[in-house]
Structure 1
Amino acid sequence: MVADVAWLAAAMARELMLFAAIGFLIGGFDDLLVDLLWALRWVRRRLTVYRRHRPASAATLPAPDAPGRIAVFIAAWQEAPVIGRMLAAALGRYRHDDYVIYVGTYPNDPATQAAVRAVGDPRIRLVSGTLPGPTTKAECLNRVWAAMRADEAVSGIRCKAILLHDAEDVVHPQELRVVDYLIDRFDMVQLPVLPLIEQSRGWFARAVSASYADEFADGHSRQLVVREAIGAGIPSAGVGCAIARARMDEIAASGGGAPFDDSSVTEDYEIGLRIAAKGGRSAFVVLPEVPGGAPVAVRAYFPHTLETAVRQKQRWITGIALAGWDRLRWQGGLAERWMRLRDRRSLAAAVVLTASYAGLLLAVMLALCGVAIHWPGWAKPILTICAWLLVWRLAVRALVVGHHYGWREGLQAIPRALLANLIAILAARRALFSYQPGVTPPWDKTEHHFPDALPCD
C-alpha cells in the first residue's frame, strides 16, 4: 500500500514537472527571441545611428514645428487623498506654456470634487456628470473628451494632443515639451513608466511594490522597444501616453463620438492597438532629460499589499487576456499576432507556474522520504535547457532593473520573481473564475497615495 502511494506520488510529480518544463521551454524561447531582437537593435543603433548622430535628449530637442495646447486627461473616482497634491505638483513641475488638466469626477464623490476645486488654478478643469460612480474609467474619460470639445467650441483654441494620466502620477517636468515636439511626427507617443518603490511600510509591502518596478523596467526596457522595432502595435500604458488630436478625432468618429469604449476595463491598452490597426504611427520614447541622465518618465506608487496587487493584475488579465481575445481578436500580420499572443499568455503561464511549484514541492517531499522519481530519457535535456533559460531570464531581469534602480534592486529582483509569480497565479485564478463574456465589471480601482517627497528627475 505504501509502495503504491509512493509510486503514484512520484508519477504525479514527474508529470507535473514535465508539463511545466514543456511550458517553460515554449515561453523561454519566446522570451529569448525578444531578448535577441532587443540586443540586435541595440547593437545596430550604436554601429549606425549613433555614429552619425549624437543621442537626443529633452534638453537638446528643438522647438516643435507648431506649438499647441496639450489637454491632460485624468479620470478620478474616490481620489480625494491624492488628487489635490498630484495637481499641485503637476502645476509646479510642468515646463510648458499652454496646457489644461481635465479631471473627470462623479456627482456622488464630493470629496474628490472639493479637492480639485481647492487647487484653484484656471488650468484645472473639473468635469462632473449625471451618472453616479463608479462607472468605468473609459466612460469617465469620454465625459472628459466631451468637456474638452465644448471648451474648444467656446474658446476657439483646438488642443494639439491628449495626454493620459492617473490621479497618483508624479509627472515629469519635460513631458509636455517632449510630447509637443514628437506628436507632430507620431499619432501616439508613449513615455516609460517607472514605478516608485515603497520604503516605509515593511519589507513585504516593499517587495510587492518593487515587483511592479521589476515588471515595468522589463516591459518598458525590452518589450515595447521590440514591438516598435518589428512594426507591431504599441499598447498604451494608460499614463504618460499622448495621442494626436487628429487621430483621436478619427477614433471618436468610428465610436459614435466617443474615443474610449465604455464597456472596456483596459481602455488604455485597446486604444493603442486601435491606433495601429488604423495605420497610425506610434512611438515608445525613451529620452533622457539630459545626455546620459534618467529618462523622461512617469513615476507613481503601485499597490503594496498582496490583495490589492492581485486585484489590479486581475483587471489587467481580464481586459487583455480574456476580454481582449473576445474584443480585439487576432488582427494584423505575423508580428502583431505574435505580440498579441504574448499579451494573452498570462493564463497559460499561470497554469504552468502552478504545475511547476506543485511538482517541485511534491518532488522535495519525496526526496526527503527517500523516494526516487524515474525520468524518461528525453526529460534530462529539456530540464537542463529550461534551467539555463531560467538563469538567462533572471539575469536579464536583474540587468534592466539595475539599469533604472541601481544594482542592489537589480539583484533583489531575482528572488522577487517568486512573489511576482504568486501574484500572477492568484490574479489569473480570480480573473478566470470572475470573467463573464459581455458583462462589463465596474471600475475596481485600488487605493492610491502620493509621495511625501517628490523624486528628483
Structure 2
Amino acid sequence: MGVELFRGVEWLALIQYELLLFAGVFFLIGAADEFAVDLIYLCKRWRGELRTLTMATRNVADRQLSGLAVVMIPTWREEKVIAHTVAHALSAWPQADLRIYVGCYSNDSGTLEAAMRGAGGDPRLRIVVHENKGPTSKADCLNRIYAAMALDEMRTGRLVRMVVLHDAEDMVDPAALPLLDRAIEQAEFVQLPVLPVPQSDSRWIGSHYCEEFAEAHGKGMVVRAALATGLPAAGVGCAFERRMLAEMVRQRGTVGPFADRSLTEDYELGLRVALAGGRSRFLRVRDEAGLLVATRAYFPSSIAGAVRQKSRWVHGIALQGWDRLGWSRGIGDCWMRLRDRRGPFAALVLFSGYLLLVLGSLSLLLRQFGLGAEWKPDALLLWLLWLNVASFVWRAGMRFAFTTREYGWLEGLRAVLRIPVSNIIAIMAGRRALFAYIRTLRGAAPKWEKTEHDVHPAQFAADQDLRLEMDLGRTGK
C-alpha cells in the first residue's frame, strides 16, 4: 500500500510538471500576442492616430438622412423586449427616411403583436412574416427581411441607401443613425461600439460582458482598423452600404447576403466586405459629456445562458470560420483571424491552468502529511512562472483601465475580480462548441441556440437617465 501511494505521489508530481510546462508556455504565447496588440494601440495612441472623435450630439438625432435607411431586426419569441426596442428606436430616430423591418415567424404571434404595439401605429415599422415555421436561423430570418426590402424597392421605385443590423434587445443611441449615415459615404461597412449594461442583480455573470466589450471595442477593433485588416461585424450597431449587400448576393448566388448555415453570419459578412474590396470603418465617437455613442443591451445573466451564447460564438467564429473563410494572404489579416480562432485552444490552456491549481493544492496538502518531496523549480521554470505572473498583472491592469474608462473605477475593480468567472465560462463554452462542431462533421446541421431576453434597458430608464447613470459611474460619483 505504501509503495502504491508513493508511486501515486510521483505520478502526481510528474503530471503537475507537464501541466506547468504546457500551460506556462502557451499562457506566455497568448500574453505575447495580447501584448503586441497593446503595444500597437499604445504607440498609435501616443502618436495621436487613435483619437476618439468628440462632437456635439445634442441635436444630431434631428438631422435628416442622406437617403433611405433600413434597420433589420430578426426575432424569435422576443415578446418580452421587442416592443421596448421598437418604441425606443422610433422615438430616438425621428427621421422620415427610416424604416424598421422586424422579421417574425407565423408561429410566433406574441412577438408580432408586441412589435406592432411598440410601434404605436408609426408607419415606419414594417413587419415581415417568414413563411416557414420558426425558428430557422438568424441568417435565414435576415435573408427573408432582405427579400422583403428588395420587393419594397421594386414596388416603390426607391432604393435603400444603408442597411443597419440590430437585435431585438438593443437600446440604440439617438446619435447613432445620423453618424452611420454620414460614415457610410466613405465606407461600405461601418461598426459602432457595443456597451453591455452592468447588472446589479448579476454582478458576476451578466456584468462580465462589460469588460470584455470595453476592451474588445476599445482596443481590439481599434487596432484592427488601424492595421487596415478586415473588420468583423458585431451584428448590432453596424451599417452596410446597400450596393455592397447586392454584391454579396451576386457573389453567393443566393437570395440573400447572409450565410444561413453560419452561426455567426454577422461576423462573416463583415470580413467578406474586405474580401470583396469594400472599405470598413470602426467608428468611436463621444458626446459632449464624454459618453460613447454605442449600442447598449443586457446580456445573459445566468451561467447557462452565457455559456450557450459564447459557445455559439466560438463555434461560428473559431470553428466554422476556419472552414468557411479560410485564411488571408496578408500578414495582418492572418494574425487577426488566428486571434479570432484561438477560443477552443485557449479554453484547453485555461483548463490546464485551473487543473494545475487543483493538483498543486493537493500536493501541498499531501506534503503537510509528509508525502512527496519539496518542489524546487529549476531556473528556466522559475523564469517562466515569473513572466506569467507579470503578464497576468499587465492583463489585469489593461482590463481595469479599459473598463474604468467606460464604467468607472468600481466596475473596473469588479472586472479584475471577475477574471476567474470569465475564464470558467470560456472553458465551458469552448468544450460545448467543440462537441457541437464534431456533431456537424458527422452530418448534423448547425443548431441556432438563440439567447433568451427577458428585460430591456428602456424598461427601467429613459435613454438620458441611463446615460447619466453610466456617466456618474464612469466618473466615480
TM-score bracket for this pair, using the shorter chain length: over 0.9
Mark the CA change 1:154 to 1:270 in structure 2 (over 3 Å): closer, same or farther: same
- Match of 1:30, as an amino acid? D
Aligned twin of 1:104: 103
* Distance in 2, Cα, partners of 1:297 & 1:66: 19
Task: Report the Cα offset of residue 433 of structure 1.
Answer: 1.1
Aligned twin of 1:236: 233
Give the share of equivalent positions with the same residue, in percent.
Answer: 42
* Distance in 1, Cα, partners of 2:39 & 2:56: 26
How do 1:42-53 and structure 2 match up within 5 A? 42-45=45-48
* Distance in 2, Cα, partners of 1:175 & 1:269: 20
Are 1:345 and 2:342 matched, yes or no? yes
How do 1:56-455 and structure 2 match up within 5 A? 56=55, 58=57, 67-118=66-117, 119=119, 120-199=121-200, 201=201, 205-256=202-253, 257-290=255-288, 293-370=290-367, 371=372, 372-435=374-437, 436-437=440-441, 439-448=444-453, 449-451=455-457, 452-454=459-461, 455=463
> Which segment drifts farther, 114-123 or 244-253?
114-123
SS in 1 for 2:130: coil
Q: Aligned pair count? A: 448
- Match of 2:208, as an amino acid? S
Residues 243-274 of structure 1, C-alpha deviations (whole Å, 9 max, x = no match): 01111111111122311011111000000000
SS in 2 for 1:378: helix
Aligned twin of 1:12: 15
Unpaired stretches in structure 1, ≥5 consecutive residues: none
TM-score, L = length of structure 1: 0.94
Q: Is the 8 A contact 2:63 2:95 kept in 1?
A: no
Aligned twin of 1:22: 25
Mark the CA change 1:44 to 1:62 in structure 2 (over 3 Å): closer, same or farther: farther
Q: Is the 8 A contact 2:143 2:257 kept in 1?
A: yes
Q: Is the 8 A contact 1:191 1:240 kept in 2?
A: yes
Task: Report the Cα offset of residue 409 of structure 1.
Answer: 0.4
The alignment yields a C-alpha RMSD, in angstroms, of 2.0
SS in 2 for 1:12: helix
Q: Is the 8 A contact 2:53 2:285 kept in 1?
A: no
- Match of 1:137, as an amino acid? K
* Distance in 1, Cα, partners of 2:75 & 2:65: 31
Task: Report the Cα offset of residue 210 of structure 1.
Answer: 1.1
Task: Report the Cα offset of residue 14 of structure 1.
Answer: 1.7
Residues 40-64 of structure 1, C-alpha deviations (whole Å, 9 max, x = no match): 1111116xx97xx985454698999
Mark the CA change 1:414 to 1:351 in structure 2 (over 3 Å): closer, same or farther: same
- Match of 2:90, as an amino acid? L
Higher relative contact order (CA 8 A, sep 6+): 1
Unpaired stretches in structure 2, ≥5 consecutive residues: 468-477
Task: Report the Cα offset of residue 284 of structure 1.
Answer: 0.7
> Which segment drifts farther, 109-118 or 180-189?
109-118
* Distance in 2, Cα, partners of 1:133 & 1:77: 7
Mark the CA change 1:280 to 1:161 in structure 2 (over 3 Å): closer, same or farther: same
* Distance in 2, Cα, partners of 1:95 & 1:216: 28
